[in-house]
Amino acid sequence: MKCAIIGHGKMGREIERILEERGHSVALVIDEANANELTAENLKGIDVCFEFTTPDTATANVRTVLEAGGRVVCGTTGWLENLAEMKQKAATMGGALFYASNFSIGVNMMFKLNKRLAELMNPHKEYDVRIEETHHMWKKDAPSGTAITLAEGIIENLDRKSVWVNSKPEEDNQLEIVSHREGMVPGIHRVTYTSADDFLEINHSIINRRALAMGAVIAGEYLNGKSGVHTMDDLL
């Protein structure tokens, strides 16, 4: 698999290492210093691009790849307002988009557990629920994309919650997401159901970025040769 890496920060470098370990080649690396080199011409012959940049640049990067008919695995969060447009481009322009708010296999198992737990808790109105997420101080978006995905899974299956807020709830139907930015924490997500008498938690903690990078590479291997829009649900 011949690859391009868009965003050569900590995640991009980890993805590059894993790609080489698994016998793939990296033919193009795009970062801030050479962002103008992300062109349709330079993307010719690239099987899969890996986009891990910032919310401010992700939309333009993904658009460029899709308009060139390319395939892109995108793990940048904080740009969801443009995701529907990019999915439409992938569906109509012959390219492919694999988007996930989190590429960790463990987190994606948590997504499934989270939905099922919300179903089971639906009749038990004595329990309130909240989400807490902690990341390193350089993460720009809050709440995290993973926390939003968890919130959507709860709202979909728990009748008493209909909207999430990243602040203290003012209405019973609001699902609180608490965000912390501190130290070097790769990522911790916790869903807690609390009653007057007990509490129940599901929790996932990233030990290092390799868990995320490995999931992204596996997604790229899955996406190679495909078109359209794909998610971790398709992969798992």
**Average pLDDT of the residues in 11-20:** 96
pLDDT for res 236: 86
pLDDT for res 92: 86
Q: Is 186 left (phi over 0), alpha (psi -120 to 50) or beta?
A: alpha
In this structure, are strands 199-205 and 188-194 parallel, antiparallel, or unpaired? antiparallel
* Rounded Cα gap, residues 223 and 113, in angstroms: 25
96 within 8 A of 72, measured Cβ to Cβ? yes
Is residue 91's pLDDT more than 90? no
Q: 151 by DSSP, 3-state: which?
A: helix
Is residue 94's pLDDT more than 90? no
**Average pLDDT of the residues in 77-103:** 89
Regarding whether 145 and 99 lie in a shared domain, the answer is no
pTM of the model: 0.80
Give me the residue label for tokens 């971790």. Answer: 232
Regarding whether 109 and 195 lie in a shared domain, the answer is yes
181 within 8 A of 139, measured Cβ to Cβ? yes
**Average pLDDT of the residues in 65-92:** 91
For the chain, the distance separating the N- and C-terminal CA atoms, rounded to the nearest angstrom, is: 21
pLDDT for res 13: 96
Q: Going by C-beta distance under 8 Å and a sequence separation of 6 or more, which residues neighbour residue 61?
A: 6, 7, 30, 38, 51, 53, 72
Regarding whether 51 and 123 lie in a shared domain, the answer is no
Lowest-pLDDT choice from 28-37, 78-87, 187-196, 212-221: 78-87
**Given pLDDT bands bounded at 50, 70 and 90, which one contains residue 111?**
very high
pLDDT for res 121: 98
pLDDT for res 122: 98
Regarding whether 215 and 178 lie in a shared domain, the answer is no
Question: Catalytic residue among 89, 135, 161, 189, which?
Answer: 135
Residue closest to 142 by CA, chosen among 163, 167, 161: 167
- The H or E element containing residue 11 is helix 10-21
**Average pLDDT of the residues in 17-46:** 97
**Average pLDDT of the residues in 127-156:** 94
The tokens of 181 are what? 């930015």
What is the percent of the chain with per-residue pLDDT over 90, rounded to a whole number? Answer: 83
CA distances from 85 to 64, 79, 130, 159, 216 (A): 13, 11, 30, 29, 22
Q: Going by C-beta distance under 8 Å and a sequence separation of 6 or more, which residues neighbour residue 68?
A: 39, 40, 43, 95
Regarding whether 111 and 98 lie in a shared domain, the answer is no
Q: Contacts by 203-206 with C-beta closer than 8 Å and gap 24+?
A: 204/104, 204/106, 204/107, 204/110, 206/104, 206/107
Q: Is 135 among the residues known to form the active site?
A: yes
Regarding whether 83 and 23 lie in a shared domain, the answer is yes
Regarding whether 167 and 96 lie in a shared domain, the answer is no
Q: CATH number of the domain that 201 lies in?
A: 3.30.360.10
Altogether, the residues listed in the chain come to a count of: 236
Is residue 141's pLDDT more than 90? no
**Average pLDDT of the residues in 169-192:** 95
**Average pLDDT of the residues in 119-130:** 98
What domain range includes position 93? 2-103+210-235
Is residue 129's pLDDT more than 90? yes
Q: Is 115 among the residues known to form the active site?
A: no
Regarding whether 99 and 113 lie in a shared domain, the answer is no
Instruction: Give the chain's domain count.
Output: 2
Regarding whether 198 and 109 lie in a shared domain, the answer is yes
Regarding whether 121 and 99 lie in a shared domain, the answer is no
